[in-house]
Structure 1
Amino acid sequence: MRTIAIVPGALALAVATTLCTGAHAEDVAPADSSPPAELPKVQVRDRAYWESRPKLQHIMREVDGPLITVTKKTSITKVDAIPTVVDNNLRALFAQTPGLFYSEQQSPGQVNLSYRGIGNPQESEFVTVLLDGIPLMSDWIGYPTLYTFPLPQTLSEVQLIRGGSSLLYGPEPPPVVNLVSRKPVKDREFAGFTENVVGDNGLFASFNQVSGTSGAWEYLADVHYRTNDGQRRNGDSKLRGADLHLGYRPSEESYTALDFHAYDLNTGDPGKLSYAQFRADEEQSPTPYNRLWTERYVLSLTHRQDFDEDNQLVAKLWGGYQDNASRAQDRAPSPTVPPTTSTLQDDQFRFGGLDARFLHRWGRGNALTVGTTVYHSDAPFRQWTEQGLRPDRFDRDGVERLRQARSTDYASVFAENVFRFEGGWHFVPSVRIDRENVDIDETVKPSNLTRDLVRRDVTHTVPLFGLGFGNDFGRENETYFNVSQGWRPVRYFDIGSPFGNTAAGDVNNPDPTKVLSLEAGVHGTPRDGLFYDVSLFQVNVRDRIEAQQIPDLPQGNTINRNSGDTRHRGFEGQVSYDFLAAQDPQTTQHLSVFANVSLLDAEFTATHNPAVQVGNEPAFSPKYLARVGVVWREDLHWKLALSAVSVASQYWQDSNQPNATPGTAAYIPAKVPSYTVEDFSADWWVVPHLRLLGGVSNLTDRKYYARVFGGGLEPALGRTFYAGASYDF
């Protein structure tokens, strides 16, 4: 077992205990009978002062149930305030989310997100993505990849939390993207809508939802279906899904909810291109028979109990199953001989967890939250070599190539307190202790590897510390500063990659990656209709993990090691101005312009990789990421949105070099070129219950790519049109 000792963790707990004791002592009467000394007058503000502000249209509540977000930078997007997002166009969904980088691909089976240049965006492994506080990743600890994403029609809000996210939600470096599900209607026993859309490339999408509230009970159910032929050959996809919510509220103080989410995706995998192939024909498919299948089913139980106005318990219990299956044609024996076999892969995850948090409000606006999280996953990983290029997903007639039994266990305890002082000051110390165990037991390995079978069991215990403070000033303005530690647990592949070859005696045993985040800024709504948020940040990443060639051994003999450190610093800002709300805060019409930008300076400060030099830029660290747009809407009449995203050029390898010599077949330039893409969407209520919707994605038909992985690039979608209608009842 390894322990990463961080002395300030104990200091945070001591500070919190001392201040809490002092604050409660103010209410204790003195032992003698002498007249009490007259204390300076303190201005007492109602709790609503810091919980009911106009800026809550743009940021989270400072004390959001048992989550304390004050002094942490947050951003939210109210999904009802933008036109309908069709075909999971995440550019539109994240248009008002500063700094979140979306590495696009046409296949809907994977979502690639990253932030501030930390880690490869491949499958969002360095961003924690949650649905109602529950992890969306395949395996939260051992295999934190994102293969599913809920339809925007099911969401009410998108939250982004920066520094300190590890202290709120658990491991993975910041940020956290928390998706909040839509709630049932409150004023009717039965209501719903049906939405149907057609578009380019054979798109057809249908979303159907009913919900209602009757007495103490509430419900919501939806079913959805989407099919698309894709722009590339073998780029077709078919998605089916359903969601169910049952809520019981016997009183205002108690609430229990049962939620179920089902997701079934079947999609082609057209493969990645060389730069020459992309320039010649970006619609071609080097892998015309490859396929991906993803199934995910999650059942969760949530209970909230308000013991009184100052004490609240929120607990979530969940369990689920996910299967990431694939078919991939094997490498051709030679350029003139086509492949004749395929590899079937089955990557399963059975997981469950419990998250319980208790909130205690005390004194004049202070709040303490304590809690615990436990999680377990079993993740068997298997492969078979099958004859032919189109074996069925469940074909097991071939030769078993790989079998690993894998599991993870994770547990944490945490505490956080916000102290409020005269003059609008607030101070937030935080402490968290995490413990992970990752276990791999391999019984079958690829026959071309000479290494021993992988038998690994690794445990890490990590204390984390956070500190924040800020000040409310003027009219609805607030400064904030946060410094927080985070970490990235070791994955299955970090301690026992099934595809690497290690010499006898060599063991994959890297330390976890550690993160220190600092951010200082100011945000507010100083006048009607205006919101702004600007900050400076620095993120230090230590002990990055990557596979490296073992010296003096044949090519392909690799070992996973801590390869170096990086530093990421810059500026992030956003502004939004509603011209009509500025004239009348109660208006039902809104004409808002928004802009956000992230300026990034990232570099390696230490390296143990011969291919990487100190001063190199980490892969996928664009120097700027900017979004602008305008939204014009009137409630239940129309919504129109025009937005643009512009991304600077960026290296796709830490070496800052191309993958091959220019002019060769495999060549890809060292940098992903910069690009700017525009989108337009609109909803229009032609009569009270009938709404037409339509839009154009990639208005100018920009030819570009944002994703390079495994030595190949993946083209982004060209211009696409869609139109449809929605009827509510």
Structure 2
Amino acid sequence: MFSRIFTIVLLMSLHFVGFSQKSTLIGKVTDNSKQELFGANVLLKGTVRGVQTNTNGEFIIKGLSAGDYTVMVSIIGLKTKEINVNLLENETKTIDFQLDDETYTLKDVQIVASRGVRGNEHLAEVDGYSINATKKNEVIKLDNINANLAMNNSRQIFSRTPGITVWENDGSGIQLGVASRGLSPNRSWEFNVRMNGYDITPDPMGYPEAYYTPPMEVVDRIEIVRGASSLQYGPQFGGLMNFVLRKPDISTRVTVESQNTVGSNGLFSTFNYIGGTEGRLSYTAYYQKRFGNGWRENSYYNTDHAHAELSYAITNKFKLGAEVTYMTYESQQAGGLTDAQFAANARQSVRSRNWFSTPWLVPSLSAEYIFSEKTKVSWKTFGVIAERSSVGNVSAITNVDILTSNRQVDRDYYNNFGSELRFITDYKFLGNTNTVASGLRYYNGNIDRQQQGKGSTSKEIDFSVEGQYPRDLAFNNINKAAFVENIFRFSKKFLITAGARVESISSTMEGRLSLTNGQPNNLTPATRERNFLLFGGGAEYHITPQSEFYSNISQAYRPVLISDLTPPATTDVIDENLQDARGYNFDFGYRGKVANYLNFDVDYFFVNYNNRIGTITQTNAANQRYQFRTNLGRSVSQGFEGYVEFDPISAFFKKSKIGYVSMFASVAFIDATYRNFKTTSIVNGQIVEGNLSGKSVENAPRKINRFGVTYNKKGFSITWQMSDIGKAYADASNTETANAAATTGVIPAYTVQDLSASFKFLKHYNLKTGINNLTDERYFTRRAGGYPGPGILPADGRTFYLSAGIKF
């Protein structure tokens, strides 16, 4: 339906445009020394039209209606210039720009120049349709870092983002497991994970695990807004993580790029891209193929990613877009290890028949209308049509996998649809310009879950089953939301933000829980309705044009998930009054920069997490024990995060013929503890109640420190990085001595180093290389209680990669 509407509107618009005489604007952009500027942004203010200059500093904007325009040209490090232009019908007008040097402030997106610091950026106070003022946020610009992008190496990608925990158990680079501030990194489920502004998880309100991660070779930047993003994007405690893909090249008609990588353990990756702009039409497409054997035994992977995007400016104020992403892969899961097995040989695997696959299709349509320079509206509609399929032996790692036994098959099917409408405008109040952003959201998530199927005895990937799945459940989540947030500017230095979000969630569960002698044990169909109102606010004070204090407090909540509503056994009981977890995020920090040689951001945070869900043992009227899942208590995460990056050569010598050095430190101290959390245990046949008060939250190291040095000269850049991560516990009881199955116990502290380099030459070519885990450390970041374990999941030892690329 939507595709038909889009096609009809597009054809009508092309027909309409074809009957009018259109004008063209061409020109060149240079600096004070008459040097042509590549990549300068040339925008027509108050419209959707814009291009970038090519390698000769030239630009062309076609298909313009006659009239008056304000042309704005900008590039980082130089002063933005505006010129008013009047175009006659069918006129081609030439206009050149010369940009002057200028420093810039935090009101703009902080982007590093070719020399000086090369670290993370911050989002502008207002960026697109979002208000980011007063919020702790980071922008990871992939072009600014040396990293193994072919393998999505998270340790390197998030190196300059303080407080980020990374689970390093997936050497294939297929899935991402990150968290911040003591939250769980399990498939990044505490973040609201998006791509280009729309959801890519199975169901943010019911099953938020991130099974899809876009290839980092096509990602332009990663936007992270901590928990204060809850008002505008969703209530998750972790906040927003948005992967922004490279947009169609607006500097040329056609740009073609190919990047090919080889490396350890049979790694081969090929990434191929095409994009460009012709008049009102912009397009892009990429394809990535990656396969290898993995660092451990039984860890083969074979992935395919494809993406296509098309946008068309129907008028100067109205633009339509469409994009579609598809991923499919086969991944052999090496499984977990006991502590003894890990110590003897971390590369070994005792599970040779475990496989995993998640074909993922994400279509999207969008529209944008610019009413004026101050007011605009956007609409996005999107879907997730996907699967999660696993086959293997999921019993404790101490149980031998008999190669002639049947494996277990579990499958999920996702058919989801969502739509968001956003509006933003500036308005005058008491002589100052204020900004209000608002939006509406609708999401309908459908999950069909089939589990515990009797699979084949094969060693290969095979999801066929004998007979019926014992467990066959259907879940539906309908989420409706509305938000409004406002910036009140009291002066050039001081502003506050205030906003609210209302959420409505309707969850339905039905189906079969198990089969006993062929007889179904059906769940009683259940529907849960919840409505929430969240508030948040913040303040920001500019000490200098390039530094500011910021603070924000915003409510958050974690909806009851599908896993919370599904008992693992027929005797288990779910609290019919089970409540969503609720709490808030608080930040207070100071951030800024000094010229182009120093960036910094230091803050204190506090995350209050109420009504955490857990399981306790109880006794029924027949004196039989059962597991009762309910809200058990509260945890608090608080601490300090700091990021600083410094270029001494730019600071003391301004310019250098021998290159520049950038040094960074990203440090975090995190105290994540339970304040009140009830537990039970069985002692001498009796139920004994306890409390986790004072215990560390599982998977939450107290220190997360990363340090690095980058040297760059012209097209050459090399980076050394060290990660120094503290110990953590795999279970909430803080068990020191691991159990036999290795699912509980300490996750030891570790230090790991990486070395990466890149060289760009002759404008069109590049070479990249690196060694990950330089000293070949043996460590792990996760003890898994279930798939893809159970047991210790070792991180990769030393690996290398070599990549060659061309772009023209």
Q: 2:157 aligns with which of 79, 86, 93?
A: 93
Kindly indicate whether residue 239 of structure 2 is the aligned counterpart of residue 239 of structure 1. Answer: no
Per-residue displacement from partner, 1:208-247 (whole Å, max 9, x unpaired)? 0111111111111111100010122210100001011111
Which AA in structure 2 matches 1:471?
Y
Conserved? CA contact 1:509–1:560, under 8 Å: no
CA gap of 1:541–1:669, structure 2 versus 1, over 3 A, is: closer
Aligned twin of 2:466: 397
Kindly indicate whether residue 425 of structure 2 is the aligned counterpart of residue 360 of structure 1. Answer: yes
Distance 1:294 1:482 in 2: 38
Kindly indicate whether residue 407 of structure 2 is the aligned counterpart of residue 342 of structure 1. Answer: yes
Aligned twin of 1:75: 138
The alignment partner of 1:365 has SS state of: strand
CA gap of 1:89–1:446, structure 2 versus 1, over 3 A, is: farther
Offset at 1:493? 1.5
Q: 1:382 aligns with which of 450, 460, 470?
A: 450
Q: Trace 1:3-18 onto structure 2 (pairs within 5 A).
A: none
CA gap of 1:217–1:549, structure 2 versus 1, over 3 A, is: same
Conserved? CA contact 1:440–1:496, under 8 Å: no
Q: Trace 1:403-552 onto structure 2 (pairs within 5 A).
A: 403-422=472-491, 424-443=493-512, 445-447=514-516, 453-497=523-567, 499-502=568-571, 507=575, 509-551=577-619
Conserved? CA contact 2:744–2:783, under 8 Å: no
Aligned twin of 1:52: 108
Q: 1:308 aligns with which of 363, 372, 376?
A: 372
Conserved? CA contact 2:396–2:741, under 8 Å: no
Which AA in structure 1 matches 2:609?
V
The alignment partner of 1:304 has SS state of: strand
Q: 1:321 aligns with which of 385, 389, 394?
A: 385
Per-residue displacement from partner, 1:277-333 (whole Å, max 9, x unpaired)? 111121222221010011101111122211001111021111121101010226599
Distance 1:213 1:585 in 2: 36
Offset at 1:348? 1.0
The alignment partner of 1:289 has SS state of: coil
Conserved? CA contact 1:642–1:678, under 8 Å: yes
Which AA in structure 2 matches 1:358?
F
Per-residue displacement from partner, 1:342-365 (whole Å, max 9, x unpaired)? 111111111111111110101223
The alignment partner of 2:481 has SS state of: strand
Conserved? CA contact 1:494–1:508, under 8 Å: no
Distance 2:400 2:154 in 1: 41
Q: Trace 1:27-42 onto structure 2 (pairs within 5 A).
A: none
Count matched residues.
677
Per-residue displacement from partner, 1:382-420 (whole Å, max 9, x unpaired)? 132134244763424334221111111101000000000
Aligned twin of 2:729: 651
CA gap of 1:189–1:625, structure 2 versus 1, over 3 A, is: same
Q: 2:794 aligns with which of 711, 715, 720?
A: 715
Aligned twin of 1:699: 774
Single out whichever of 701-710 and 518-527 deviates more from structure 2. 518-527
Distance 2:650 2:365 in 1: 39
Identical-pair percentage: 27
CA gap of 1:333–1:66, structure 2 versus 1, over 3 A, is: closer
Which AA in structure 1 matches 2:579?
D
Distance 2:375 2:654 in 1: 38
Aligned twin of 2:664: 594
Per-residue displacement from partner, 1:90-148 (whole Å, max 9, x unpaired)? 11111111111111103544322121112x32222212221111122222221111112
The alignment partner of 1:80 has SS state of: helix
Per-residue displacement from partner, 1:662-718 (whole Å, max 9, x unpaired)? xxx435673211011111111112433221111100001010000112061100000
Distance 2:395 2:245 in 1: 43
Q: 1:371 aligns with which of 425, 429, 439?
A: 439
Aligned twin of 1:180: 244
Aligned twin of 2:14: none
Aligned twin of 2:58: none
Distance 1:544 1:472 in 2: 38
Distance 1:289 1:447 in 2: 27
Single out whichever of 487-496 and 248-257 deviates more from structure 2. 248-257
Distance 2:275 2:623 in 1: 62
Kindly indicate whether residue 804 of structure 2 is the aligned counterpart of residue 725 of structure 1. Answer: yes
The alignment partner of 1:140 has SS state of: coil
Normalised to the residue count of structure 2, the TM-score between the two structures is 0.79
Distance 1:113 1:554 in 2: 43
The alignment partner of 1:398 has SS state of: coil
Which AA in structure 2 matches 1:543?
N
CA gap of 1:461–1:349, structure 2 versus 1, over 3 A, is: same
Aligned twin of 1:18: none
CA gap of 1:506–1:444, structure 2 versus 1, over 3 A, is: closer
CA gap of 1:209–1:580, structure 2 versus 1, over 3 A, is: farther
CA gap of 1:204–1:619, structure 2 versus 1, over 3 A, is: same
Distance 1:184 1:589 in 2: 32
Aligned twin of 1:690: 765
Per-residue displacement from partner, 1:596-643 (whole Å, max 9, x unpaired)? 1111112111112236421111111211101111223356x2232221
Q: 2:749 aligns with which of 674, 677, 686?
A: 674
Q: 2:332 aligns with which of 265, 268, 277?
A: 268
Q: Trace 1:96-245 onto structure 2 (pairs within 5 A).
A: 96-106=160-170, 108=172, 109-118=174-183, 120-245=184-309
Conserved? CA contact 1:131–1:178, under 8 Å: yes
The alignment partner of 1:144 has SS state of: coil
Aligned twin of 1:621: 700
The alignment partner of 1:341 has SS state of: coil
CA gap of 1:590–1:369, structure 2 versus 1, over 3 A, is: farther
Which AA in structure 1 matches 2:538?
G
CA gap of 1:335–1:342, structure 2 versus 1, over 3 A, is: closer
Aligned twin of 1:22: none
Conserved? CA contact 1:55–1:525, under 8 Å: no
Distance 1:512 1:379 in 2: 20
Conserved? CA contact 1:479–1:522, under 8 Å: yes
Which AA in structure 1 matches 2:618?
I
Distance 2:437 2:704 in 1: 35
Distance 1:451 1:116 in 2: 41
Distance 1:292 1:596 in 2: 34
Distance 1:93 1:409 in 2: 34
